[in-house]
């Protein structure tokens, strides 16, 4: 009830403004130690990629692009947090307005464009946080870096993020950076992943620990592209894959006044598209690489279905905005009923 009232008030504001106000309020509540009294901390431990997750329900990248709100978001009950997408250099992203709510469809359209303060700033914020749980760092390329030089940008971010990250996500699927999705295909994909894998081994030697590399893919891939990606993930030795990012299509939005807005669509309308990719990828990977399922999780049954399709972990973004922290607890409860903790 409390979150429903807060959401009604915040939804009266301009979308991007309400996003930042919400995060500021969450951070303030965490600093005042209010949240532990209001929100239970669900636990359902999962071991994956050599990491120990408090629960399989995490926060997807995009909510906290710079690592400014890690402590506050972690206090809401997530089993792990992912920050970013971050780029080597700061960049403003696309002009506003660039974020649109579609409440009747439980959806969001965004064309943020990797707006962030750069990897150096993010590293400072992570070092200043008190969070000790699993932290993913989602990396990308600057908008003005040619696609053929994208590896250079990913390497810059990876080298600086490595010592602070529990895992690193290679975002090659945002629809809001021109040419980025071309990195999901052919020799461009293998060259990128091979280059990152080589750097991972160098960093592992220096830091004395292996930080898993995870690739985030789009929901708009056809069957041939899924064949290609699955083969590249295995052959290049990636430790995980996130399925999926937002979609460029507009399923179920026919006639909606915002349907023509450019950007990626998230929330309930992407659920079936994301599940098609998740299931297809799981069939191709045959358990060789774990999958993190994200896209359209609005209720516990959605998360359970993604796990039935082959996901080992799930992440929330749009569902969290519409349903609030209670969704985390409800999903963990549903999973506990399926797999109760030992007495």
Residue 20, preceding bond cis, omega within 30 degrees?
Answer: no
Tell me how far CA of residue 9 lies from CA of 3, 38, 63, 74, in angstroms.
10, 19, 19, 23
**Which residue in the list 18, 75, 174, 266 is annotated as catalytic?**
174
Q: Is 266 a catalytic residue?
A: no
Helix spans in the chain (H): 2-10, 15-31, 35-38, 70-74, 119-128, 150-161, 186-207, 223-235, 271-285, 300-309, 318-323, 326-338
Tell me how far CA of residue 59 lies from CA of 135, 189, 195, 270, in angstroms.
10, 26, 27, 17
Tell me how far CA of residue 92 lies from CA of 46, 87, 95, 210, 261, in angstroms.
37, 11, 8, 32, 19
Q: Structure tokens of 157?
A: 């971010």
CB neighbour list of residue 179: distance below 8 Å, 6 or more residues apart? 147
Q: CA angle, 181 as apex, 176 and 185 as ends, to 5°? A: 180
- 37 by Cβ neighbours in 10 Å (0-12 / 13-18 / 19+) ranks as exposed
| SS3 state of residue 10 | helix
Annotated catalytic sites, by residue? 174
């Amino acid at each position: 009830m409390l979150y429903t009232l807060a959401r009604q008030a915040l939804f009266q504001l301009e979308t991007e403004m309400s996003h930042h106000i919400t995060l500021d309020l969450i951070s303030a509540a965490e600093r005042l130690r209010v949240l532990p009294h209001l929100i239970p901390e669900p636990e359902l431990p999962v071991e994956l990629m050599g990491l120990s997750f408090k629960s399989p329900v995490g926060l997807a990248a995009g909510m906290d692009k710079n690592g400014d709100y890690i402590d506050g978001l972690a206090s809401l009950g997530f089993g792990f947090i992912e920050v970013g997408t971050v780029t080597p250099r700061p960049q403003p992203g696309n002009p506003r307005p660039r974020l649109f709510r579609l409440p009747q469809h439980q959806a969001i359209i965004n064309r943020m464009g990797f707006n962030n303060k750069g990897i150096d700033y993010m590293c400072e914020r992570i070092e200043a946080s008190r969070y000790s749980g699993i932290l993913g760092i989602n990396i990308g390329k600057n908008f003005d870096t040619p696609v053929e030089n994208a590896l250079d940008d990913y390497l810059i971010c990876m080298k600086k993020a490595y010592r602070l990250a529990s895992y690193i996500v290679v975002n090659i699927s945002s629809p809001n950076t021109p040419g980025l999705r071309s990195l999901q295909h052919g020799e461009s994909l293998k060259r990128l992943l091979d280059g990152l894998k080589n750097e991972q081994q160098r960093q592992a030697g220096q830091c004395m620990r292996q930080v898993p590399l995870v690739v985030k893919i789009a929901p708009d891939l056809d069957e041939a592209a899924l064949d290609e990606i699955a083969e590249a993930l295995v052959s290049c030795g990636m430790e995980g894959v996130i399925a999926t990012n937002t979609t460029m299509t507009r399923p179920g939005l026919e006639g909606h006044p915002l349907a023509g807005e450019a950007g990626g669509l998230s929330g309930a309308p992407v659920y079936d598209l994301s599940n098609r990719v998740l299931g297809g990828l799981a069939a191709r990977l045959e358990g060789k690489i774990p999958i993190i399922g994200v896209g359209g999780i609005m209720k516990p049954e959605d998360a359970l279905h993604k796990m039935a399709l082959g996901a080992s972990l799930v992440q929330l973004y749009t569902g969290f905005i519409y349903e609030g922290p209670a969704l985390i607890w409800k999903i963990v409860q549903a999973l506990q009923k399926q797999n109760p903790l030992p007495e």
